[in-house]
Amino acid sequence: MFPMFMTAAGTVRPAHVLIVGAGVAGLQAIATAKRLGAIVHAYDVRAEVKEQIESLGAKFVEMELDAGDAQDKGGYAKDMGEEFLKKQRELMTRVVAESHIVVTTAAIPGRKSPVIVTADMVKGMMPGSVIVDLAAERGGNCELTELDKTVVKHGVTILGPADLPSTVPFHASQMFAKNCTNFLKELTKDGQLAIDMENEIHAGTLLTRDGEVMHPQIRELLGITNEASPSEKEA
């Protein structure tokens, strides 16, 4: 039960919801849970998003962790390494145990999703609690998530949905088409392709040019070199 109910039979206290990751999906989850009447807490490794979380009425979960530069140039969270994740899990255990619903959205482009909610954390949750793992397609933020399945482990229901856009095909197609149209308009001038490497959109989406890999992140994933990419040199 998300909202507080005061009835002749007694009072039902509002649900405590924890959102892990404050990207587009996380912020929407915060807004929805808050609108439904839940007490909402949210956590993100990027301290920069604290203001966004609080603007939606949620409380930002503070953790004594040195995240350093946890955000890449595109605004996404970086892979912080296993030692950081270990410390993060230790601090997260109490917060997860106090939550009735946990929604995880922590995904890192091009990499496996970090395991944030461990099996031991799930054991510590109250029976009947729910975990919705929106990072399931990349391995999941919960250790016990099973892709495209709903499972019950230690009395906790864990959802691992796959291909969520296909569940709302009409609106997903609308948004995809609009983004493609705007992107093509951005890349052209007078009906001709016009690449401008000083334009953030052009530089951030160009993968290859004249037979050479341009994108810094793709170069890193391919292990080409550590030196500046052609796109960075041109910029």
- Cα 157 to the chain's mean position, in Å? 20
Over residues 213-219, mean pLDDT: 88
pLDDT at position 217: 83
Residues 152 and 200 in one domain: no
**CA atoms of 96 and 59, how far apart (whole Å):** 14
Note the pLDDT tens digit of each residue in 152-167. 999 999 999 999 999 9
Of the residues 123, 144, 162, the one at which a domain ends: 162
Amino acid at 49: V
Q: How many domains does the chain have?
A: 2
Contact 105, 113 (CB under 8 A): no
pLDDT at position 68: 54
Provide the 3-class DSSP secondary structure of residue 11. Answer: strand
Give me 206's structure tokens.
Answer: 């160009």
0.75 surpassed by pTM: yes
Provide the 3-class DSSP secondary structure of residue 166. Answer: helix
Note the pLDDT tens digit of each residue in 128-155. 999 999 999 999 999 999 999 999 999 9
pLDDT at position 43: 92
For residue 49, the domain's CATH number is: 3.40.50.720
Q: What does the mean pLDDT of the chain come to?
A: 88
Residues 158 and 210 in one domain: no
Note the pLDDT tens digit of each residue in 13-64. 999 999 999 999 999 999 999 999 999 999 998 888 999 999 999 999 987 6
Residues 220 and 120 in one domain: no
In sequence order, the β-bridge partners of residue 43 are 20
Task: Give the domain extent around 180.
Answer: 167-234
Of the residues 162, 181, 206, the one at which a domain ends: 162
Residues 25 and 130 in one domain: yes
Of the residues 128, 162, 196, the one at which a domain ends: 162
In sequence order, the β-bridge partners of residue 212 are 209
Give me 58's structure tokens.
Answer: 């949620």
Residues 142 and 77 in one domain: yes
pLDDT at position 85: 73
Over residues 58-82, mean pLDDT: 63
Share of the chain above pLDDT 90, in %: 69
